[in-house]
Amino acid sequence: MLIYTILVLVVFINMSLSNNSPGEPAHKADCKECHADIMAGDYVHPVAVDGCSLCHVSTGEEHPNNNVTGFKLTADYPQICYGCHDDKNSKDNVHYPVQDGLCSTCHSPHSSSNASLILSDFSENSCMDCHVMDQEGKKSSHDPTGSASCTKCHDPHQSDYPRMIRANVNDLCLDCHNESFESDGREIQNIKATLVETNTIHDPIINGDCIICHLPHDSDFPRLLISEYPVRQFSEAKYENFELCFLCHDSEMITADSTEFATNFRNGKQNLHYFHINGSKGRNCNLCHNAHGAPNKHLIEETVRYGQWNMPMDAEFNENGGSCSTGCHRRLEYSRVIN
């Protein structure tokens, strides 16, 4: 009789442990006993290490069992994430997965082989799962794009700036272009130093519009330019070769030998741009000008690279014209007003 009573008591206790009330774990076993695979990544969500109950709550249904969800989230996405993480849906520009509460599109809530619990490796272009970018056949590509370092320029959650960029365009570009470095076998100048040390800055940069001339990801033209511009010091003086400049400037600057309006660099009506550039061996604009900034008015450099020689550009300006003396010729004067 005593043995029978003990057996009944054991069965009763086991039944009590297996029938928990709703809101409590379905059993006392550690969840990781069954779900070890979701915790196997190199980077583990700290709340998952501490336990599952912060994000999951029992539905009261028997678990595990086929076609039964034994647990549910304690809140819907993205509110469940905002319980610990700052609200990522409060700025003017919000990444659409965040806006739609699709945090798990990019992040694993448990563990991952990648930092920040990213589902796939950024070196394998995880952004490109949604953002298609075909760089095949392009003449130039931005180094961060090529290395899939999208987050150097873009915030993946939200931003105060359009296109999810981290800062205004000029500050964003100069955050990297604050030193000289080599890319595609050529030296990229320190743009920030150039702007700090110069007296004249190109209007697009003043207006914060680097992308007026450059594309941020890749381009069909060298140097991420948006249109045609010579790479070498000499190029045939025709519109098609200098199309980039003439998106803003008057193309008659290089096509008309006489003008009153196309340029202020003229002697009377004689177009001195045309005089210097015309012909099959026309000079590149950068033989006299720096497209970003320069010490003199009109973006005129003090010296320009001519082969292995830093050729002096001694330019002076007055109300009606000016004069210049270069390695090409003695000092010559010009005036837009000729009596």
Percent of the chain with pLDDT over 70: 90
Domain ranges of the chain: 1-120, 140-225, 227-335
Residue identified by tokens 């604050």 is 178
- Of 162, 20, 171, 30, the C-alpha closest to 92 is 162
What pTM does this model have? Answer: 0.80
pLDDT in the model for residue 123: 56
Taking the C-alpha atoms of residue 275 and residue 284, their distance in angstroms, rounded to an integer, is 13
Question: Omega into 64 within 30° of 0, i.e. cis?
Answer: yes
Residue identified by tokens 């798990």 is 104
- CA torsion through residues 162, 165, 168, 169, sign: negative
pLDDT in the model for residue 15: 46
Residues of the chain scoring pLDDT < 50: 2, 4-23, 25-27
- What is the 8-class DSSP label of residue 86? P
* Structure token digits, residue 250: 């008057």
* CB contact set of 43 (below 8 Å; sequence gap of 6+): 111, 112, 113, 114, 115, 116, 117
Residue identified by tokens 């999810």 is 164
Q: What 3-state DSSP class applies to 125?
A: coil
- What is the 8-class DSSP label of residue 218? E
Residue identified by tokens 């200098």 is 242
pLDDT in the model for residue 293: 95
Contact 151, 144 (CB under 8 A): no
Q: pLDDT tens, 168-207?
A: 999 999 999 999 988 777 788 899 999 999 999 999 999 9
